[in-house]
Each structure stands twice: as C-alpha cells, then as structure tokens.
Structure 1
Amino acid sequence: MMSKTAARVSRLYEVMDLMLDSVGDPLALKSLAASASYSSFHFDRIFRELTGFSACEYQRKRRLRRAAHLLRHEPDVPIVRIAQDCGFPSNAAFAKAFKQQFAMSAKAWREGGWRDYMDQQVGRESDVSFFVAEPDNLEAILAPYCPPEPGTIAARIAVRNLPALTLRYQRFFGQSGAALSFACHDFIQERENADGVPASTPWYGVFDEDPGFTGEREYCYDFGCADDTVLDPGLGLRVLPAGTYACLDFDDEWPRFRSMYEDWLDKQAVWRLDSTRPHIQKVERTPEGRWRGWLALPIKKR
C-alpha cells in the first residue's frame, strides 16, 4: 500500500506536470490545489516544502525559462508573441520579469546574451546532471566542458522517430553535477534491491527545459525506468512523448547535450528545437559493466 507521504508526492508530481503543460495559461492556484486534494493554503505550503518555491514563484520561473528557450530557438517569432505564449499579461510585465531573472532584456538575450548567461551562471555544471556514472568515476563527472572538434558530434547524430514510453520515475530537485549523478546511481541500486530490477535494465533521465539556462536550485530532473519494471506505486508516472529526436549514441563515454546544441543544432537549416517535448537520456549497463545509451534532443522542422 502506498504511504500517505508517497501519495502526496505523487499527486504533486502530477500537478507540476500539469503546470508545465499549461505554462501559457493563467495560474489558478485554487484549481491546482483541488486537483491535488488540498486547500490552497496547504497546497502552497506542501509545494514549497517539496520544491523550495511557492507554486506561483515556481510557475513564474518556468514561464521565464520557457521564454528564454523560445527566444534562443525561435528567432522568427516576435518577442511580444513569446511573452503572450508564456502567460504574461503584457509586454511590459514580461520585460520587467525577464530582466529581473536574467539581468538583461529579451532583445539582448536573443542577440546572443544567452550564451554569456549560460557560461557565467550555469556553465559550472554544463549539464553533467545527465550523467549516471559510478560514484568512483569522479574524473568523468567533474570534467569541465570542452567543445568538440567541429563536426565530430554532428557526424554522429541520427534523426529518429522515437515511440512513446511510460516511465516510473523519481523526481530530483535542486541537485546537479556530482550530487545528482550519485543520487541517480543510488536510485538504481535501490530499485535493483527492492524490485529485483535486472542490471541490464534501461534507465531514462528526463529534463523538460534547456539545461543551460536552469540554475541548480531550480533543477527538476526525472529519472526512472519503464513502468512495468518497478513496483513502487509512490514513484511518479509520466509518458515520454513520441516524436522526432536528434539522437547521439554513446558507449563507455559521457557526451553532453551542450555539444549537440553547439556542433549540430545551432548550425541546422532544416531542424530546430521543439520546446514542447523533453530532453531524454537512455543509459544501460553492458554485460561487461560499461554504460551505453543515447541522448535525444526533441526537434521539429523549421
């Protein structure tokens, strides 16, 4: 039987996913609380305990990161349209909130300011949070990001249509880098011990936003495996959407999404990022004990 704590967390996961899907809609706190079977007061308190933010603050930050995402990857969409699509009532309200969050205007961000922000504010982790390395492999986990030789990552990328996948997952907040890598490794061991999950089981890491724009406190990372593999009903349940992805296979190495952006996506004339679907990483152990898998970047035709 699911514990009260596990049931509460599971309900909050569902509400948070609903908030992400409706990032451009007005935030009806009362309705969100009711969907989780709480009063508005208790919902906001419990939400803050889980994430470190009030529901309103959490949604505001997600709206701004979605806007930052679109400003970078949708250069032909007017800023005022992006502000509206991300739930801001006016361009003035958006401009003020964006500058407070990113210390520059949306125009400056679109013209290249995002790169400076990424390098200065979030570059210290360079999306190493997608690693699931062994705890004794600190060298790989802590290695600084090094741009690939031009064309070397692009030559390995394959555009694929991936099927939908139902995932049982643990959600991690406010962790990145080595701390998150260790947490994911511990989660694998727990599931192997509690559920008898085979060592060769594929595991999936899921991130719904641009990893380069999200600070450590705001990291929200889902990690798990297919729902028929684990038994714990207290874990979250989500469907990873089918669609077109740029995939980078790896074996006994830890490539980074950033290299896929910089060596392939930013130079693309055919494809652009699809911000409505998540980044996905698949990892699994080989019989020899190595890690292999792929990174999948959601894309759509320009």
Structure 2
Amino acid sequence: MEPNATQQTIYHQRIDTVIAYVRTHLEEDLSLETLAAVAGFSPFHFHRLFKAITNETINELTNRLRLERAAALLRAIPTLSITDAAFACGFNSIAVFSRAFKKRYGIPASQWDRQQPLKNSKIGQLSEAFPRYTLENLSEWANAGCLQVQQRALPAQRLAYIRVYDSYSHYERITQAYEQLLTWYEQRGGRLADTTLYGMSQDDPEITPRALCRFDWCLSVPTDWIAEGAVNVVDFSACQVAAIHCHGDIYQEDRALQFLFRYWLPRSKYQPANLPTMEIYRRQPVELGWEIYDMDCAVPIELL
C-alpha cells in the first residue's frame, strides 16, 4: 500500500516536535514515556517509529544533542569547566560525559581545542568549504571596526517553515524549499512586504556531522495560520540576538559567524541561548540571484 502524503507529513511533524522538545529540555529526564506523549504516539511503538523516520534512536539523538550543546558552550565560554558544561546539558556524571565525548569526537574533552573544534576530531575528517580565520584576523577586524555587532530584541512570532536535511551536500534542496515556502505563503494571500524571511541553522557543522545538519526556511505569519502539507508552524519566543549585517557572498556570513562565536562572545557578558543561529533577510535571496546576500547573521544570546 502506498503511503498517504498527508499521513507522512503528520508523522514527520510530530517527530520534529519531539526533536524541538528535546533540544529545549536537555537538562531534564527525557524518558521514552515523556517523549512519546509529546509526539502523541504510543510508548510501545514510539521508539521504532522515531528510528524509522530519523535514522537515530531516541537515546542516540538525546546524547548527540547534549554533546553538541556542551561543545557549543565550551567553545563560547572559555572559562566554563567541563564538569559544569556536562551537568548543564543533562549528563548525570562527568564519567558518562567523558566517555560519550571521546566516542563522539575521537578525543577527550580535556584535549579538545575550543578555538578549532574540528581539529583532530572525527567530525573534522570532512572537508571544509570555508576558510578558518585566525584569532589575529578576528582581532584586526574588531579593531578596524569591519564587523559591527548590534544587539537587538526579536519579538515573539509565529513562523511557518520548511525543513531541509543534509543541505551541505545537496544545495539544490535549499532553493527548492525556499521556492516551495514562498509559493505556499503567496497562495494564501500573504505579501512579502508583510513578512520577514529567516534562515535557521538547527545544527552547527563544526560540531554536528553534516549529513545530520538541518536548515529551516521560515516566514513570519499571522498567529491563526496553521501547518499544512510540507509547511509546519512554530511559535517562536522573543529573544535577544547579537547580529552582524552581511552584504556579499556566502563567505561573508561564515566570517561573521566565526567572529561572533570565536571572538565576540568569549569577550562579552553573554552566552549563546539554546536557539538556532539565524539569517534575518533584508532582501529576498531570489532578488539577488543566490550569489549575493543581504542579511543579518544573528546568534540568540542570554546573560552568562
């Protein structure tokens, strides 16, 4: 029997809801029963369904997200101890964290280079598409005022989104999803002048294997709009962001993100919030031919 497309979409939307829940409750006890209830599936069958859709078990996903969050905190906060990072992300002992970290990245957490997290790690065996700037480069740009960081508040809003998987290996999926989302929005009477386009990177390619990285195209929509087909909706909480305006090719975005994570954050009174890195577009990428971009590269932040 051929699967019904609508039924497939419902399954994927429920699993996405679980993943979002795990990401925002990493410090809690994430039992099978709790996550099955979030998904609206029977606990008896949930583990099998989750594995079939994500290609990861629930425990694998939970451990991976906890490790990636801990790694992100260690990178952004040079003074943070390994023990504090482990407990903040839901590990109940430093021994469990240490074993999991070494298994994941191939090196002990104590030997992990916080400035160059890919160096000598198993994740780093993948080829890198972007240059790695030195701290001297970043310091020179800061002193010259080349990269201006602005802090501002983003309001709470409902976002309609389409998720793209493994976008680093399949760039065409990015443009296809963008076109699909805009078509859906305009068919429902939406005007581009009334919305904001966001690109949200749910995972960090310096910490997460690129085949597992997820990217969301999002449009702000009225609060009564609901999910439909491949388009899901989420109520995004208000947050503070540190942002750099980027006008140029995609390398400008990478430079801005390296500056924010490797230079600005460690010297600020902030840490990255448990929210995705985002692109806030000033102009639609299709207007500029997908070669030049006009956007703010933003990292959600919270006080240390």
TM-score by length of 1: 0.79
Match in the other structure for 1:38 = 41
The range that moved more, 158-167 or 253-262, is: 253-262
Match in the other structure for 1:277 = 275
Unaligned runs of 5+ in 1: 126-143
CA–CA distance in structure 1, aligned partners of residues 126 and 81 of structure 2: 26
CA–CA distance in structure 2, aligned partners of residues 195 and 272 of structure 1: 40
Please show how residues 141-290 of structure 1 align to structure 2 within 5 Å: 144-145=130-131, 147=133, 150-151=140-141, 154-176=146-168, 178-191=171-184, 194-198=187-191, 201-228=195-222, 232-234=227-229, 235-251=231-247, 253-268=249-264, 269-283=267-281, 285=283, 289-290=287-288
Deviations 1:71-107 (A, max 9, x none): 2112222212222222222211111110010011111
Query: Which of 71, 81, 86 is the equivalent residue of 1:68?
Result: 71
The range that moved more, 87-96 or 151-160, is: 151-160
The range that moved more, 44-53 or 187-196, is: 187-196
What is the CA distance between 1:277 and its match in structure 2? 2.4
Q: Which amino acid counterpart does residue 277 of structure 1 have in structure 2? A: L
TM-score by length of 2: 0.78
* Residues 179 and 23 of structure 1, relative CA distance in 2, 3 Å threshold: farther
CA–CA distance in structure 2, aligned partners of residues 300 and 118 of structure 1: 30
What is the CA distance between 1:224 and its match in structure 2? 1.9
SS of the aligned residue for 2:30 comes to: coil
Match in the other structure for 1:134 = none
What is the CA distance between 1:197 and its match in structure 2? 4.3
Unaligned runs of 5+ in 2: none
Query: Which of 93, 97, 105 is the equivalent residue of 1:94?
Result: 97
| Residues 98 and 104, structure 1, Cα contact 8 Å, conserved in 2 | yes
RMSD, matched Cα:
3.2
SS of the aligned residue for 1:213 comes to: coil
Q: Which amino acid counterpart does residue 19 of structure 1 have in structure 2? A: V
Match in the other structure for 1:129 = none
CA–CA distance in structure 2, aligned partners of residues 118 and 179 of structure 1: 27
The range that moved more, 287-296 or 33-42, is: 287-296
Larger RCO, structures 1/2 (Cα 8 Å, 6+ apart): 1
What is the CA distance between 1:40 and its match in structure 2? 2.5
What is the CA distance between 1:251 and its match in structure 2? 3.7
